[in-house]
Amino acid sequence: MTVRVRFAPSPTGMFHVGGARSALQNWIYAKQQGGVFVLRIEDTDAARNKPEWTEGILSALDWIGISRGSYEGPYFQSANAGEHRAAAARLHESGRAYYCDCTREDVQARTGSQYQGYDGYHRDRGLAPGPGHALRFRTPDEGATVVVDLIRGEPTFENKLIEDFVIARGDGSPVFLLANVVDDMTMGITHVIRAEEHLPNTPKQQLLWEALGVKPPIWAHVPVVVNEKRQKLSKRRDKVALEAYRDEGYLAGAMRNYLMLLGWAPSGDREIVPWSVIEDEFRLDEVNLSSAFFDEKKLRAFNGEYIRALPVAEFVDACQPWLTGTGTIAPPPWQPEEFDADAFAAVAPLAQTRIAVLSEIVPNVDFLFLASPLIDEAAWTKTMKDGSAELLDDAVAAFEALDSWDAESLKSTLEAVGAERGLKLGKTQAPVRVAVTGRTVGLPLFESLEVLGRERTLTRMRAARLRLV
């Protein structure tokens, strides 16, 4: 038997990091088993679906390493609507489903409770199909449905506790439960790997598989992804869009590595490992049952490690979208003609050790490409205090006298200026840094001044001195 897994997102919004994790888990499992990864777009929610969301799914999968052409699909659920209706008709004809025209209010009136499930009122009344008549599955009265789950063992559900659930609406359109099952059957899916939030629906879906005469797939329900308050990640409350992390400057490798650690860990006391190790070691039966905490701070630390591990040339290439404002990345504050590739290449090794996401490259190097620095007013107020004007005067004079404009000469010269005032280098260089870069923190100062050059450095220091008049 060829293993066939599927990833079936809905094109109704940005690509959720939890969905990305499920996609990767399915992808790796299929690869390990010599199987097939199928992409199915569940696009039957016409009111919320948009073509750009579908393209967003494909682009996000590309980014995390599941590239177009390497999987089967994408298929679209809407294209299988005829099969969905045919399956509903077969279930009705075989007596496994029946029509019902009860409203929620009808059920509440009979049961006396708004919390009571459907009471089977129309089970044996022979209601014919018609407008407003929903089709309900006839759940077995006795026995239990056992779900074979590679992660959770064999969860067992008593059939008497499963109400006769709707499989087609009053207008004849099949609901998600039935459409999902029929699609999996049509595509020959053998393993369904998905989040545990779908587990309550699994016995219903398994009953549908059996009623339609097809052996159910093997299930694997991975733990749900939660935030720091142990709440399920929500699009309305949490930062969950994979595209947002991509556009902020997270590396695909770091994101893949981190997502695979949500509920699982490689062997040994390690977390940052080559992707080949994850592909080799990942096992569904080793996935934890407890909820997986998506820790953005930890992801950020991961990303910093991945950035620092890049060869410098690759780091320079990776920064280009933020330096040029390409694609979905916002343009930088400088004009294209102001950018100096040689100057950036000179400071790139310094910047690489100091940023955790690629978007941080812009505030670290903008002083090199702007006619004048973007002054952080809070930094100015904090730094430019009594004595700063005189210190800048002395520093300008000392720098003007330098024969060699290099980092070491600049450092020793400014140290001497500070020593005459009884100041350590840290206190001495603070006004110079703000005058030249506009900020109190950034790349190593003297290497930055060397790249910026004598003329531009002195011009900025003089401008800052005039502001202090």
- How many residues are recorded in the chain? 469
**Structure token pair of residue 468:** 């202090």
d(CA 206, CA 415): 76
**Which residues in 232-245 are b (16+ Cβ under 10 Å) and which e?**
ebeeeebebbbeeb
235 a catalytic residue: yes
CB atoms within 10 A of CB 431: 24
> Which helix (H) or strand (E) covers residue 299, if one does?
helix 296-309
What are φ and ψ of residue 166, in 5° steps?
Answer: -75, 135
Find the distance separating the first CA and the last CA of the chain, reported in whole Å: 82
Q: Which residues contact 124 (CB under 8 A, 6 or more apart)?
A: 98
Q: Three-class SS string for 317-373?
A: HHHHHHHHCCCCCCCCCCCHHHCCHHHHHHHHHHHHCCCCCHHHHHHHHHHHHCCCC
Question: Measured in whole angstroms, how far is the alpha carbon of residue 337 from the centre of its chain?
Answer: 34
Burial class (CB within 10 angstroms; exposed 0-12, middle 13-18, buried 19+) of 398 = middle
Q: How far apart (Å, rounded) are the C-alpha atoms in residues 459 and 177?
A: 69
Options 215, 229, 232, 235, the catalytic residue = 235
The beta strand positions in 80-189, using DSSP E, are 97-100, 134-137, 144-146, 156-158, 166-168
Euclidean distance between CA atoms 427 and 423, whole angstroms: 6
Burial class (CB in 10 A: 0-12, 13-18, 19+), 372: exposed
How far apart (Å, rounded) are the C-alpha atoms in residues 305 and 313?
A: 16
Measured CA angle at 59 (ends 56, 65), to 5 deg: 140
Which tokens belong to 234? 């929500």
User: What is the C-alpha separation between 209 and 467, in angstroms, rounded?
Assistant: 77
CA gap 207, 428 in Å, rounded:
76
**Residue 383: Cβ within 10 Å count:** 19
Task: Kindly list the catalytic residues.
Answer: 235
